[in-house]
């Protein structure tokens, strides 16, 4: 039987700053992966009646999935990542790998619900890019317990 614990944190000022930095990195990772999936979606789909009879068809790009995007993490953690629109440098090595893997899982689940639907066949709306206000949680898959 698996047991899940949920804790409420009361961090001090330095810990709040560090957690906010982690949230910023996770939000950037979420939005980057979602953007990659939307690029794939827009490049590889077309209406049935919109296909030209004669054209050069570019090679189909492989669909980004949880595992292919998760494979990018060791590469991205080696160096600082520069955010294109703000010029900010993000250090992915500060954030635990399980937290970033969970972000990849969240993107995968949201995009699959958009394309395929849930178990009842009901499709969700298009996943949205996250702002500071809408991305406020991180999941730590492994917890360090203090044992004597």
Query: Nearest Cα to 33, choosing from 108, 93, 95, 88?
Result: 108
Radius of gyration of the chain from its Cα atoms, rounded to whole angstroms: 19
CB atoms within 10 A of CB 76: 15
Residue 91, φ and ψ in degrees, nearest 5: -105, 100
Query: Nearest Cα to 46, choosing from 57, 37, 34, 30?
Result: 57
DSSP the chain: ------------HHHHHHHHHHHHHHHHHHHHHHHHHHHHHHHS---GGG--SS-PPPPPPPPP-HHHHHTTHHHHTSS-EE-TTT--EE-GGGS-HHHHHHHHHHHHHHHHHHHT--TTSPPP-------TTT------SS------
Q: Domain-by-domain residue ranges, the chain?
A: 14-42+66-115
Q: What pLDDT, on the 0 to 100 scale, is given for residue 1? A: 85
Q: Which parts of the chain have pLDDT scores under 50?
A: 146-148
Q: What pLDDT, on the 0 to 100 scale, is given for residue 145? A: 54
Q: What pLDDT, on the 0 to 100 scale, is given for residue 139? A: 87
Q: What pLDDT, on the 0 to 100 scale, is given for residue 51? A: 58
| pTM as predicted | 0.82
């Amino acid at each position: 039987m698996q047991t899940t614990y949920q804790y409420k944190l009361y961090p001090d000022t330095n810990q709040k700053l560090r957690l906010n930095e982690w949230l910023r990195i996770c939000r950037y990772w979420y939005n980057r992966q979602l953007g990659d999936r939307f690029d794939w979606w827009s490049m590889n789909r077309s209406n049935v009646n919109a296909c030209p009879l004669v054209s050069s068809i570019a090679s189909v790009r492989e669909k980004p999935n949880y595992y292919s995007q998760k494979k990018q993490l060791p590469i991205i953690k080696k160096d600082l990542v520069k955010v294109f629109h703000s010029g900010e440098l993000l250090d992915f090595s500060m954030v635990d790998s399980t937290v970033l893997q969970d972000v990849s899982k969240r993107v995968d689940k949201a995009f699959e619900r958009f394309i395929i639907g849930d178990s009842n066949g009901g499709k969700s709306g298009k996943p949205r890019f996250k702002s500071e206000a809408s991305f406020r949680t991180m999941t730590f898959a492994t917890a360090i317990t203090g044992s004597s």
